[in-house]
């Protein structure tokens, strides 16, 4: 019953003007009324970006195909995950022909991602989700305008696995560029498909005492990956054109691979506990009229 009510309320809110919808949802999720015209907090600045900043690089770099060329020009081919297929449509038979060990996703939205690592995969269901996703307009619900500028496609990439067959750690580097200097907050998500926890660290992988949307595991990292400085360097290079961007990287058996660039973490509705960290991360971000 609660889910049905939430769905109805969500549909009603969608007919409101964009800025009002964003603020009302922010009031519900974040527990405060956002000032997106003159932002101070991290979430306010993300939503400010949606309505007041026009940067053509957002669409290029949010496109899961086009961003590959962007990464290639900056860092070379070695950080790119091998591609199996790119196209405007796909069939269940085609997906099944790839066997196991691939990731299929749409290029113009967030979340429509399918990891196939089992012969029992439901290829028909995956195909239906991907083809349906090609018709969706992510920008309409989340007001991230840059997704509307992306040509919808499907991309299938090789699945990256650790030597023991497990999925690699997905490191998300929140890179803030201010006055010629970078500030980096590292996010690591644990057990995403079972008991999702999310922890944050500084550039030396020292645990930071706050959570964002998911409980913090409070996991102290004793052994820093040997190639972590290379990851920091790559994240900084890929973020150099922006005042803020989240750079997702994978560390796989000593090799680093690019995941994606994200310009609106949690779409600007990521609740911080304690709430003071929303404002603290906002101080790292010097919003520029890009």
How far is it, in rounded angstroms, from Cα 50 to Cα 160? Answer: 32
The pLDDT value recorded for residue 10 is: 63
Radius of gyration of the chain (CA): 19
Angle, in degrees to the nearest 10, between helices 66-75 and 228-238: 120
pLDDT tens column, 167-179: 898 899 999 998 8
Looking at the fold, whether 151 and 169 belong to one and the same domain comes out as: no
Q: 116, exposed or middle or buried, with CB in 10 Å at 0-12, 13-18, 19+?
A: buried
The helix-helix angle for 42-52 and 18-30 (nearest 10°) equals 170
Instruction: Name residues of the chain where pLDDT drops below 50.
Output: none
Range(s) of the domain holding residue 57: 36-79+165-284
Asked whether residue 58 falls in the same domain as residue 130, the answer is no
Burial of 158 (0-12, 13-18, 19+ CB in 10 A): middle
Residue 17 resides in a domain: no
Residue 8 within a domain? no
What pLDDT was estimated at residue 140?
87
My answer on whether 205 and 108 are in the same domain is no
* Residue 245 CA from chain centroid, whole number: 10
Q: What is the pLDDT of residue 241?
A: 96
Among 271, 41, 257, which Cα is nearest to 168's? 257
Residue 5's pLDDT is what?
58
Residue 289 lies in a domain: no
Burial of 156 (0-12, 13-18, 19+ CB in 10 A): buried
Q: Give dist(CA 167, CA 119) in Å, integer.
A: 17
Under DSSP, is residue 85 helix (H, G, I), strand (E, B) or coil?
strand
Which residue, among 133, 99, 247, has the nearest Cα to 185 in the 3D structure? Answer: 247
Q: Same structural domain for residues 181 and 273?
A: yes
**pLDDT tens-digit profile of 5-42?**
566 666 666 677 899 999 999 999 999 999 999 999 99
User: For residue 259, what pLDDT is reported?
Assistant: 96
Q: Can you read off the two tokens belonging to residue 68?
A: 């590959």
For the domain that residue 197 is a member of, what is the CATH number?
A: 3.30.470.20
Domain C-terminal end among 159, 182, 198: 159
- The whole-number pLDDT of residue 147 equals 95
186 and 65 share one domain: yes
Q: 72 and 89 share a domain? A: no
**The model scores a pTM over 0.75:** yes
Predicted pLDDT of residue 16: 79
Are 210 and 98 within one domain?
A: no
Q: Residue 111's pLDDT is what?
A: 81
Asked which of 159, 189, 206 is the last residue of a domain, the reply is: 159
Count of domains observed in the chain: 2
């Amino acid at each position: 019953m609660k889910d049905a009510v939430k769905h109805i309320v969500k549909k009603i809110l969608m007919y409101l003007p964009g800025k009002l919808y964003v603020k009302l949802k922010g009031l519900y999720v974040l527990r405060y009324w956002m000032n997106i015209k003159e932002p101070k907090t991290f979430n306010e600045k993300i939503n400010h970006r949606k309505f007041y900043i026009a940067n053509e690089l957002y669409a290029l770099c949010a496109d899961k195909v086009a961003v590959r060329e962007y990464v290639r020009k900056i860092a070379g081919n070695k950080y790119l995950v091998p591609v199996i297929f790119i196209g405007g449509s796909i069939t269940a038979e085609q997906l099944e022909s790839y066997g196991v060990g691939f990731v299929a996703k749409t290029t113009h939205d967030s979340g429509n991602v399918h990891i196939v690592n089992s012969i029992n995969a439901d290829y028909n269901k995956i195909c239906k989700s991907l083809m349906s996703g090609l018709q969706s307009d992510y920008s309409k619900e989340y007001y991230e305008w840059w997704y509307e500028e992306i040509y919808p496609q499907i991309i299938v990439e090789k699945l990256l696995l650790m030597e023991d067959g497990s999925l690699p750690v997905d490191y998300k580097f929140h890179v803030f560029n201010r006055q010629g200097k970078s500030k980096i907050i590292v996010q690591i998500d644990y057990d995403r498909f079972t008991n999702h926890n999310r922890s944050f660290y500084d550039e030396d992988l020292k645990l930071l005492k706050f959570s964002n949307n998911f409980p913090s595991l409070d996991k102290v990292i004793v052994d820093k990956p040997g190639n972590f400085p290379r990851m920091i360097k790559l994240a900084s290079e890929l973020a150099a054109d922006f005042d803020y961007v989240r750079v997702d990287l994978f560390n796989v058996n000593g090799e680093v691979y690019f995941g994606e660039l994200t310009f609106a973490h949690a779409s600007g509705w990521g609740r911080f506990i304690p709430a003071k960290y929303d404002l603290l991360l906002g101080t790292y971000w010097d919003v520029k009229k890009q």
